[in-house]
Amino acid sequence: MDSAVLVAIGDELLGGLRREENCAFLARHLHDAGWTVERLEAIPDGDEPILDVLGRWVGRTDLLVLSGGLGPTHDDRTRSALARYLGCPLRSDSLYDKVVGCCFGERRLLFERTRDTQSMIPEAARAVYNPEGSALGIAFDRDSTHVLAFPGVPMEYAAMARQELPDLFAGSCRWASVIVLGLPETVVVERIPEVVGDGELHVSVLPAFPQVELVIRGDPVRVADAEALVRSRFSDALPPGCHSLAEAVLWEARRQGRTVTAAESCTGGLLQGTLTEVPGSSEVFRGGVVTYSDEMKERLLGVPRGLLEEFGAVSQDCAEAMARGGLWFCGVDFSVAVTGVAGPGGGTPLKPVGGVWFGLASRKKNGGAESRAFHCLFRGGREEVRRSAVSCAMAELWRMVRDGRPSLMPCFEPGALGDATA
Do 139 and 43 share a structural domain?
Answer: yes
240 in a structural domain: no
| Domain, as residue range, for 314 | 245-421
**Amino acid, res. 284:** V
By CB neighbour count within 10 A (0-12 exposed, 13-18 middle, 19+ buried), where does 377 fall?
A: middle
Buried b (16+ CB within 10 A) or exposed e, 153-189: bbebbbbbbeebbeebeeeebbbbbbbbbbbbbeebb
299 in a structural domain: yes
**Amino acid, res. 216:** I
* Dist. CA 157–CA 26, nearest whole Å: 9
CATH number at residue 69: 3.40.980.10
Question: In 171-219, which residue ranges form alpha helices assigned H by DSSP?
Answer: 185-191, 193-196
* Dist. CA 215–CA 202, nearest whole Å: 8
CB atoms within 10 A of CB 283: 12
Among 233, 255, 278, where does a domain finish? 233
pLDDT of residue 112: 84
* Dist. CA 384–CA 373, nearest whole Å: 21
Report the number of distinct structural domains present in the chain: 3
* Dist. CA 366–CA 394, nearest whole Å: 26
pLDDT of residue 5: 98
Yes or no: say if 125 and 140 are a contact pair by the CB < 8 Å rule: yes
Yes or no: say if 307 and 318 are a contact pair by the CB < 8 Å rule: yes
* Residue 371 three-state SS: strand
pLDDT of residue 415: 36
Do 321 and 212 share a structural domain?
Answer: no
* Dist. CA 264–CA 415, nearest whole Å: 25
* Dist. CA 183–CA 387, nearest whole Å: 18
**Nearest CA to 315 among 237, 374, 256, 252?**
374
**Nearest CA to 6 among 18, 24, 19?**
24
**Amino acid, res. 219:** D
Show pLDDT as tens, one digit a residue, over the chain (422 residues).
Answer: 589 999 999 999 999 989 999 999 999 889 878 789 999 999 999 999 999 999 999 999 999 999 999 988 888 899 999 999 999 999 999 998 888 877 767 777 877 888 888 899 999 999 999 999 889 999 999 999 999 999 999 999 999 999 999 888 775 557 889 999 999 999 999 999 999 999 999 899 999 888 999 999 888 899 999 999 999 999 999 999 898 999 999 999 999 999 999 999 999 999 999 999 999 999 999 999 999 999 999 999 999 999 999 999 999 999 999 999 999 999 999 999 999 999 999 999 999 999 999 999 999 988 889 999 999 999 999 999 999 999 999 999 999 999 999 998 888 653 333 433 33
319 in a structural domain: yes
Among 169, 186, 217, where does a domain finish? 169
pLDDT of residue 260: 98
Do 154 and 217 share a structural domain?
Answer: no
* Dist. CA 322–CA 291, nearest whole Å: 9
258 in a structural domain: yes
* Dist. CA 311–CA 334, nearest whole Å: 24
Q: What is the pTM of this model?
A: 0.75
Do 184 and 47 share a structural domain?
Answer: no
Do 165 and 180 share a structural domain?
Answer: no
Yes or no: say if 114 and 106 are a contact pair by the CB < 8 Å rule: no
Do 403 and 292 share a structural domain?
Answer: yes
pLDDT of residue 205: 95
pLDDT of residue 173: 53
Among 169, 197, 214, where does a domain finish? 169
* Dist. CA 114–CA 101, nearest whole Å: 14
* Dist. CA 215–CA 370, nearest whole Å: 37
Q: What distances in angstroms separate CA 36 from CA 6, 10, 163, one per listed residue?
A: 11, 24, 21
* Dist. CA 268–CA 228, nearest whole Å: 38
* Residue 193 three-state SS: helix
* Dist. CA 183–CA 203, nearest whole Å: 17
Q: What distances in angstroms separate CA 389 from CA 137, 267, 313, 359, 412, one per listed residue?
A: 41, 7, 16, 12, 13
Do 162 and 89 share a structural domain?
Answer: yes
Could you give the maximum distance between any two Cα atoms of the chain, in Å?
A: 79
Residues 6+ apart with CB under 8 A from 210: 181, 182, 388, 391, 392, 395, 411, 412, 417
CATH number at residue 190: 3.30.70.2860
pLDDT of residue 218: 85
CATH number at residue 407: 3.90.950.20
Residues 6+ apart with CB under 8 A from 377: 352, 354, 355, 356, 418, 419, 420
The H-or-E segment that residue 23 falls in is helix 22-32
Do 100 and 192 share a structural domain?
Answer: no
Kindly tell me the number of DSSP H helices and DSSP E strands found in the chain: 17, 17
